[in-house]
Structure 1
Amino acid sequence: MIKMAAVREITLHKKILTLRTGRKMKKLDDVLFQALIEKAEQSDRKRSHHCFHTEHSDPVQRMCIGLKKGTYVRPHFHSQTNKWEMLLVLKGRLALVIFDQT
């Protein structure tokens, strides 16, 4: 689900994914993806993050996460109804388990 108030436009052109918000355009390209992969390979947890938000208190937390084979993201729950996550796999694959609240 994309909340259009937060992200106004998502485009993919010549392998460059662009997020257009109300403020500044953010480009996700092969240079960023390669840097994420290299950092993830060096990490004990086999992952790396690139944050696009400037403050932890920003109402929308946008980031690009590089995950390498062997990493594990533990199950977690957002109790606030205004909290959500969007996963977009650009390369590779992942296993996703979704739990209900019961």
Structure 2
Amino acid sequence: MVQALIAGGIIYGLFNFLERGKDRGLDGFTSITFVLVPALLLFLITLGWGFIGLPQAFLLPFVSLYFLVPTLMLRLQYQFGWKNACGYGLLVFVVAMAVDILLSVGFSALRG
């Protein structure tokens, strides 16, 4: 949850910077949604995957949800072009992965 809030805040700032002067409805809630929905889906998939007993290494393709969900939301809900939607989806993916990696490294450093 902390990862989603931090990444959502960064994405909100980047969207405000990139979309200045345009009113397309991209607000703070939407920015957090772009990270929270894939994070919750990935959590539920991981939980089900663990109950079945399959190896966790096969979950790597599901990380693409951080790209797919924002891209499809921007294209279908906000009527962005495919080029802009894919660019913003890639931005969400990169920010979410960077924040996740930095938090993982930070928390592991706290454990010693």
Q: TM-score range by the shorter chain?
A: 0.3 to 0.5
- The structure whose residues are more often strand, as a share, is 1
- TM-score if structure 1 supplies the norm length? 0.37
- TM-score if structure 2 supplies the norm length? 0.34
Structure ranking higher on relative contact order (CA contacts 8 Å, 6+ apart)? 2
- The structure whose residues are more often helix, as a share, is 2
